[in-house]
Amino acid sequence: MRIVDGVYLVGGSSYNLSSGCNVYLIDTLGAGFILIDIGSEEDVEMVKANIIEEGFDPDSVSVLFLTHSHLDHSGGAALAKKTFKCKLAAHELTAEAIESGFQRSQGRLTPAYVDIKLRGGETLTFGKSKIEVFDASGHTREGGDLCYGLKVEGKSLLFTGDTAFKCDRGLMAGHPVSSWLGSRDIESIRKYLRSLENLSRAVKPDILLPGHGLLALKGGWRELQECIRIVSEYAEKISTN
Ligand SMILES: [Zn+2]
């Protein structure tokens, strides 16, 4: 499904009701296609089929960027590398999990070599696309959460993985923060909050493309503010308990 020119949704629960994450495809206009996240191993074939359905050659996927190491986002990384013959890009802490084949909170995955190791703060150019990398640690206990920014036709897009969701009627609406972070101590909630605040200072997305649930096709920055509000309320609540 086309989101804006050159950016497509090619996987996720809108397609198959699996727990798989939203998978995005970016046409770099000159250096093949980029995937943002892949889902689990079971999702890779569907992603490939959706790329073909959009009229593109799956062999022209050049890089798969991972937002974090949770298995519903990264479990299919090894199979994706084989299927698309692409490079893998991830935070160095995510790379530790992918290369060792073990995600500390969620267990085993098929190991794969991570070709491009990131820390946040990088800007990578592929064809005519510039991918901005933002460190956003807090969602994954082990660290290594990244968000990716991209400008298309004057619009700012932000791929947020599980760091920020569409809030007003989406995944976070009415949900306590604990439902997607698990029970956490106040320090780690504060770390997550700081990441969201830094993110909203660094980028003002028009379109927010999360790892699950609805896409925020308008008012992306407002959704980010709403995430900050929800997480600060939660931090306040557990610090006074
Ligand atoms: Zn996650």
pLDDT the model gives residue 204: 97
Rounded mean pLDDT, 69-73:
94
Rounded mean pLDDT, 180-200:
88
- What's the CA-to-centroid distance between 121 and ligand 1, angstroms? 21
- Mean pLDDT (the chain) is 93
Rounded mean pLDDT, 51-72:
97
- What's the CA-to-centroid distance between 143 and ligand 1, angstroms? 11
Helix axes 44-53, 77-84, angle to 10 degrees: 40
19 pLDDT more than 70: no
Rounded mean pLDDT, 1-11:
96
Angle, CA 159 vertex, CA 69 and CA 33 arms, to 5°: 90
- What's the CA-to-centroid distance between 161 and ligand 1, angstroms? 7
Greater pLDDT, 9 or 174: 9
- What's the CA-to-centroid distance between 55 and ligand 1, angstroms? 30
Task: Tell me the residue range of the domain where 189 lies.
Answer: 2-119+128-240
- 3-state secondary structure string, 12-45? CHHHHCCCCCCEEEEECCCCCEEEECCCCHHHHH
What's the whole-model pTM score?
A: 0.95
Q: Which two tokens stand for residue 169?
A: 């009627």
Local confidence band at 181 (pLDDT 50, 70, 90 cut-offs): confident
Q: Which two tokens stand for residue 239?
A: 């610090």
- What's the CA-to-centroid distance between 33 and ligand 1, angstroms? 24
pLDDT the model gives residue 228: 93
Domains contained in the chain, number: 1
pLDDT (tens digit per residue) in 73-92: 999 999 999 999 999 999 99
- What's the CA-to-centroid distance between 38 and ligand 1, angstroms? 13
pLDDT the model gives residue 176: 67
pLDDT the model gives residue 213: 87
pLDDT the model gives residue 17: 59
Query: How far is 130 from 72, CA to CA, in rounded Å?
Result: 26
- What's the CA-to-centroid distance between 65 and ligand 1, angstroms? 15
pLDDT the model gives residue 2: 96
Query: How far is 2 from 96, CA to CA, in rounded Å?
Result: 33
Q: What's the one-letter identity of residue 206?
A: D
- What's the CA-to-centroid distance between 85 and ligand 1, angstroms? 25
- What's the CA-to-centroid distance between 115 and ligand 1, angstroms? 22
- What's the CA-to-centroid distance between 154 and ligand 1, angstroms? 29
pLDDT (tens digit per residue) in 82-130: 999 999 999 999 999 999 999 998 999 999 999 999 999 999 999 999 9
- What's the CA-to-centroid distance between 94 and ligand 1, angstroms? 12
Instruction: Give the residue among 97, 127, 122 at the shortest CA–CA distance from 112.
Output: 97
Query: Lowest mean pLDDT: which of 60-64, 87-91, 153-157, 211-215?
Result: 211-215
The two beta strands, 107-108 and 61-65, are: unpaired
Query: How far is 143 from 146, CA to CA, in rounded Å?
Result: 9
pLDDT (tens digit per residue) in 131-141: 999 999 999 98
Query: How far is 33 from 131, CA to CA, in rounded Å?
Result: 12
Query: Lowest mean pLDDT: which of 126-135, 182-191, 214-223?
Result: 182-191
pLDDT the model gives residue 149: 98
Instruction: Give the residue among 27, 117, 26, 38 at the shortest CA–CA distance from 83.
Output: 38
Q: Which two tokens stand for residue 43?
A: 């999702």
21 pLDDT more than 70: yes
pLDDT the model gives residue 240: 82
CATH number of the domain to which 109 belongs: 3.60.15.10
